[in-house]
Structure 1
Amino acid sequence: MTHEDRRRIAAWLAEGLGYAEIGRRLGRPTSTISREVARNGASGDYVADHAQRVSGHRARGRKPARPAESAPGEQPAEVVRGFVDQFATLLAATGLPRMTSRVFVCLLTADADGLTAADLVRRLEVSPASVSKSIGHLEAMELVVRRPDPGGRRERYVIDDDAWLRAWQADTGAHSKIATAARRGVEIFGTDTTAGTRLGAMGRFFAWLSEQMSGSTLTEAAVYDALTVLAALVHADRPLTLGTLATALDWPEDRATAALDAIRRKPAIADPLALRTVGPRTYTLTTRPDRLSPAQRKALHQ
């Protein structure tokens, strides 16, 4: 632990923060903080300079540890540790927990067969619980996969070649859900409210972002069918069930379903209209509430 770490601990203790919160801010286990305060504090108080001196005296009394040797062709261990810490700090600044960031970068720089939990504990000098929690976080983000260890019963954690694609797809799906929720919010709050205006802008942005990230395109035939369904709904001027729509167009239901799905996936096809589901397999068209601003709609009604 550095002198700066100890200064931060002293300051946060003075502010009344608990060991768990201090550990979270430093990216260290709670047990490390409590042990530091217990071993290097003075008469119940923790003073950074005193703790640094006590720790230094204790370290000088130990037999110097032999530096880890690097295999031929590998970067020196201290260079690797420096890179891991620097990269982890950068990731932590984006919102990823610091400990999770350290575990991720450690796996990112590991060999192809990955690392076991024990490997991570040893390399990062943290508790098994911290590693387990971080692995759970990374698995939830689909950045890490588990593989059996050929040499024993332990599992190895690996960042494989598909990690980036899975993360990309997860983000794309999340953006699409946000866009849908925002459009629903516009319907609830109304387009002439401040909340509705904000949600409309948010929905348009995330819909565009999802479309750009997905990279999905529709075939010419799919676009043609989607436009045909839109024309049918406009002409009917009333909600239509899937069965009625398919019968009127003389299509099988799966073709009509595919056309409706295409409109949902690419709402811009229907612009300035929007497809709405008003009942079980029942659809209609409405004007997009976010296409005109409240001021524009007001002017048109005058």
Structure 2
Amino acid sequence: MPGGRLTQQDRQRIAAGLTDGLSYAEIARRLDRSTSTISREIARNGGPRDYQPQQAHGATLQRARRGPPAPPRAARVPGGTVEEEIIELAVRSGLPRMTARVHVDLLLSEHGRRTAAELTRRLTVSPASVSVAVNFLVQQGYVRRERDPQRRRDIYVVDDDAWYHSIVISSRQTLESAQAAMAAAETLGLDTPVGQRLAKVGTFLERVTEDVTESADRWRALLA
């Protein structure tokens, strides 16, 4: 993975990429950097609309003279840390808390990848808890599993394309529910109140799923 600090020329190329409407991933590819590096650089220096390369470079030099910035886990926002806020949002959306903690820790990691041992140590939980959480995330497409043949261990990865796969998997599950509802409607009879209700639900879920899948396919290039 490419490393090193961004130069002033790098920042000028970032600004040019934003002006041209390039995605963060494409800018990162052209600079041979990680997408997370580009995302952090832009976010801490005004965002995509107000990013100015000279000011960004000067601010970075000032931060370097003051010492290293606080890690993401200590970044304060109203009500708690950034990490805690994202976890709470995930829990409110229906994700189990342990699973949310694992997912967020992966999301906020430098390169979006950790081993099971690293997750266990960082979250101070049992290996079994991490295993259950990771298996769920893999099944839902939020995380993928890589094998490290040299150390014979699994590495869990959150990459940009994970969001596409999670939507596709969710849509597939919703489509299965739609098909089950329509099958039940035919069994019970389309001329019965229950059959008509299930047929409407099945048709609605089927049409919505088709729209979501088509939209995900259409905009997938943004993650490239």
**TM-score, normalised with respect to structure 1:** 0.44
Equivalent positions of 1:192-207 (< 5 A) are 192-207=191-206
* Residue number in structure 2 paired with 1:75: 71
* Residue number in structure 1 paired with 2:85: 86
SS at match of 2:155: strand
Per-residue Cα deviation, 1:177-213 (whole angstroms, up to 9, x for no partner)? 2222222112111123231122012012111112201
User: Are the counterparts in 1 of residues 73 and 83 from structure 2 also a CA contact under 8 Å?
Assistant: no
Gaps of 5+ in 1: 1-70, 217-302
Structure showing the higher helix proportion among its residues: 2
Distance 1:163 1:76 in 2: 22
SS at match of 2:135: helix
* Residue number in structure 2 paired with 1:47: none
* Residue number in structure 2 paired with 1:110: 109
Q: How far has the Cα of 1:82 moved from its partner?
A: 2.1
The structure having more radius of gyration, on CA atoms, is 1
Q: How far has the Cα of 1:108 moved from its partner?
A: 0.7
Cα distance change on mapping 1:77 and 1:97 into 2, 3 Å:
closer
SS at match of 1:136: helix
Gaps of 5+ in 2: 1-66, 216-224
Distance 1:215 1:184 in 2: 24
Cα distance change on mapping 1:200 and 1:76 into 2, 3 Å:
closer
Amino acid aligned to 1:72: P
Distance 2:87 2:98 in 1: 8
Distance 2:128 2:71 in 1: 29
Amino acid aligned to 2:155: R
Per-residue Cα deviation, 1:152-198 (whole angstroms, up to 9, x for no partner)? 44322111222111111112222222222222112111123231122
Amino acid aligned to 1:78: A
> How many percent of aligned residue pairs carry the same amino acid?
38
Distance 1:72 1:145 in 2: 31
Distance 2:72 2:103 in 1: 20
- How many residue pairs get aligned? The number is 146
User: Are the counterparts in 2 of residues 117 and 128 from structure 1 also a CA contact under 8 Å?
Assistant: yes
User: Are the counterparts in 2 of residues 175 and 209 from structure 1 also a CA contact under 8 Å?
Assistant: no
SS at match of 1:157: strand
Per-residue Cα deviation, 1:96-125 (whole angstroms, up to 9, x for no partner)? 111001000100111226111121122212
SS at match of 2:137: helix
* Residue number in structure 1 paired with 2:135: 136
CA RMSD of aligned residues (A): 2.4
Q: Does 1:172 align with 2:168?
A: no
User: Are the counterparts in 1 of residues 141 and 165 from structure 2 also a CA contact under 8 Å?
Assistant: yes
Q: Does 1:210 align with 2:209?
A: yes
SS at match of 2:146: strand
SS at match of 1:142: coil
